[in-house]
Amino acid sequence: MLTIDELGKAGSGTSAHPGDGSSSFRRILVPVRSPGESGPALAMAGRICAMTGGVLRLVHVRTCDPPLPIAGRFYMETPGEAAAVLEEALLAAWACGGPRATTAVVDARAGNVALAIAWQAAAWPADLIVLTRSPRPALTRLVRGSVPDQVMRTASCPVLAIPLR
């Protein structure tokens, strides 16, 4: 995991600086739960894109309950609501410097959100994942875990965690 301070100091093992001194963080994925909650990550990703001439990929994971034998899947939000979340996040990203951006809605079970984000990062392929991490008590994080922690463990690219203010 890279913190904000380490992003500028990252060495050759993180793909931060290829041989010519330019940044390889040109494809940046930002998971979006709600635009207000993802604001710090969108702002940081927008700044990185402005420096590198990169492109953003905003991903919203629509969660569902596990299917029952007699019924289909139940999603907590409609596709229209998911698209509205991404549109609002896209406007926020453009307000942070106007980087090029694409969006994606991914469906996943409630317990597989981090895997869906990591899979989307690998399939796109992302050079960096920028996400917001809200403060939680250590005991709660230890017992239940958190999506950002799981993304950091499963992603195949560097993850930059921005604290929620």
Could you list the mean pLDDT of each consecutive 10-residue stretch along the chain, which spans 165 residues? Answer: 40 42 80 86 90 92 73 73 90 80 90 93 95 79 78 94 86
Specify if 95 maps to a domain.
Answer: yes
Specify if 1 maps to a domain.
Answer: no
User: Residue 28 — left, alpha, or beta (φ > 0 → left; ψ -120 to 50 → alpha)?
Assistant: beta
* Domain containing residue 137: 26-163
Specify if 17 maps to a domain.
Answer: no
Specify if 2 maps to a domain.
Answer: no
Question: Quick check: 31 and 61 in contact, CB under 8 A?
Answer: yes
Specify if 15 maps to a domain.
Answer: no
How many domains, in total, are found in the chain? 1
Single pTM value for the model: 0.79
CATH of the domain at 44: 3.40.50.620
